[in-house]
Chains A and B, each alone.
Chain A
């Protein structure tokens, strides 16, 4: 399967404030791109546009799979998105969260695969505890597996290392490597350790 993302002259303006101005880049299958820039440069806005949660003021971000441009609804299901602003359900356990997001995406639930993901991020011992009782680092791990478990074509990671300890960061690197075999990854970060996860860097200006 061949996937690619092409961003062309993307602009985003909130009333009189221009957040993104003529941003262009492309990412090919198996590649990881890092987006950096100072606070307020529009990294999160760019990620929200790429996820399909937000529309650009002008320009386009087209996701192609096997030569076909994926429409808005389909793109939302082709994307895994981790950002500090989007959370999983605190009343549900990690397994319940995984199962819920799998089911609403219309995918078959696989208990063994869920167990595999929980082991991978070191949460198998806490599989029956509500996520609300977890530390912020453990919540971040749950968010990561919920974004990756449906095998997205495009994985968007906005400050993915936030709250993660060394083991969590190792899991994160492993997940980016897994994603290279399946599709594309875009990481928005200013963390020097995460800059090394990408093949290319796009720097946004404030």
Chain B
């Protein structure tokens, strides 16, 4: 029996509007406080600058460039992506959200917000790394697709893990500890795909399977998150 039939109130059945509301609420909060984006950018630009200065006299190999790029993106994500859930628990709004929103829309709304947050970081980090490390990307389209696919996977895992650690007392430490093992396949594949997209000699046939692997990881993590999130989110003990 639906709410509309129960109470006579008009109910909008759109699941997507609920997701949009959660995404919009997080975005509005972030634009007003700028806490997560500042933390993420501070960490990523600082680490990028340190690496650039310390390797100024020694040109980095393409392997090192692609690995360092993903190290910076990974640790930036670990620094700031847990905020969306931690802030809900700290400010006492998590229960209000549990009482009102379907768990699946909370997961997808928060995931979309984390994706956008990480995209903002990548929009700064990637051009800077290309300049500082003198990276030449021979297949820019593949490079962009790899970043996009990596972003989705990182955000999906971060959203799921953030919901778990937000209810504990050791949030920052646990977040990276729990996320890293799950993200190892994604990070290895993303580093490999980035390296391939930097090299003009490689053929599409060699890059495509690696990118497909990234998207498979994304789909698996998003599906798992969608199915498991309700059990994580409901704190009913």
Q: Using a CB–CB distance below 8 Å, which chain A residues touch chain B?
A: 1, 51-55, 65-66, 68, 70, 73-74, 76-79, 81, 85-92, 96, 99-101, 103-108, 130, 146, 150-151, 153
Q: Which residues of A contact B96 (CB under 8 A)?
A: 86-88, 101, 146
Which candidate, B3-11, B64-72, B193-201, is the interface stretch facing chain A?
B3-11
Instruction: Give 5 CB contacts A-B under 8 Å.
Output: A86-B93, A86-B95, A105-B100, A108-B11, A151-B9
Measured CB to CB, the closest approach of chain B to A165, in angstroms, equals 22
Contact in complex: B6, A107 (CB < 8 Å): no
- Judged by DSSP, the binding face of B is helix
Report the Cα distance A54→B234, complex, angstroms.
Answer: 9
Q: Which residues of A contact B32 (CB under 8 A)?
A: 91, 130
- Judged by DSSP, the binding face of A is loop
Contact in complex: A79, B99 (CB < 8 Å): yes
Measured CB to CB, the closest approach of chain B to A18, in angstroms, equals 15
**Residues 76-101 of chain B: 1 if any A CB is under 8 Å from the residue's CB, otherwise 0?**
00000000000000011101111111
Contact in complex: A76, B98 (CB < 8 Å): yes
Asked if B170 is an interface residue, CB under 8 A from chain A, the answer is no
Given contacts A54-B236, A89-B29, A92-B29, is CB(A103)–CB(B6) below 8 Å?
A: no
**CB-CB nearest in chain B for A14:** B237
Contact in complex: A74, B3 (CB < 8 Å): yes
Asked if B14 is an interface residue, CB under 8 A from chain A, the answer is yes
Measured CB to CB, the closest approach of chain B to A192, in angstroms, equals 27
Contact in complex: A52, B99 (CB < 8 Å): yes
Q: Which residues of B contact A151 (CB under 8 A)?
A: 7, 9
Asked if B212 is an interface residue, CB under 8 A from chain A, the answer is no
Q: Give the most central of A68, A78, A91: most B CB within 10 Å.
A: A91
Report the Cα distance A96→B21, complex, angstroms.
Answer: 10
Q: Which residues of A contact B21 (CB under 8 A)?
A: 99-100, 103-104
Report the Cα distance A89→B28, complex, angstroms.
Answer: 11
Q: Which residues of A contact B17 (CB under 8 A)?
A: 103, 106
Specify which of A53, A81, A85, A92 is in contact with B25 (CB 8 Å cutoff): A92
Size band of the B side of the interface? 35 or more
**CB-CB nearest in chain A for B33:** A91
Q: Which residues of B contact A86 (CB under 8 A)?
A: 92-93, 95-96, 99
Asked if B18 is an interface residue, CB under 8 A from chain A, the answer is yes
Given contacts A55-B236, A78-B7, A108-B10, is CB(A85)–CB(B92) below 8 Å?
A: yes
Within B87-118, which residues are at the interface with A (CB < 8 Å)? 91-93, 95-102, 105
Q: Using a CB–CB distance below 8 Å, which chain B residues touch chain A?
A: 1, 3, 6-14, 17-18, 20-22, 24-25, 28-29, 32-33, 91-93, 95-102, 105, 235-237
**Given A68-B1, A76-B99, A88-B93, 20 more pairs with CB closer than 8 A:** A51-B99, A52-B99, A52-B236, A77-B100, A87-B93, A91-B32, A92-B29, A100-B21, A103-B18, A103-B21, A105-B100, A106-B12, A106-B14, A107-B10, A107-B11, A107-B12, A108-B12, A130-B32, A146-B96, A150-B9
Contact in complex: B99, A81 (CB < 8 Å): yes
Q: Which residues of A contact B102 (CB under 8 A)?
A: 73, 104
Given contacts A86-B95, A92-B29, is CB(A1)–CB(B100) below 8 Å?
A: no
Q: Give the most central of B18, B22, B100: most A CB within 10 Å.
A: B100
Contact in complex: A55, B99 (CB < 8 Å): no
Measured CB to CB, the closest approach of chain B to A204, in angstroms, equals 20
Contact in complex: B18, A90 (CB < 8 Å): no
Contact in complex: B18, A106 (CB < 8 Å): yes
Specify which of A85, A87, A92, A153 is in contact with B7 (CB 8 Å cutoff): A153
Measured CB to CB, the closest approach of chain B to A46, in angstroms, equals 15
**CB-CB nearest in chain A for B8:** A1
Contact in complex: A87, B22 (CB < 8 Å): no
Report the Cα distance A96→B22, complex, angstroms.
Answer: 12
Given contacts A87-B93, A87-B96, A101-B96, is CB(A106)–CB(B3) below 8 Å?
A: yes
Report the Cα distance A190→B13, complex, angstroms.
Answer: 40
Contact in complex: B3, A78 (CB < 8 Å): yes
Specify which of A77, A79, A90 is in contact with B91 (CB 8 Å cutoff): A90
Contact in complex: B28, A104 (CB < 8 Å): no
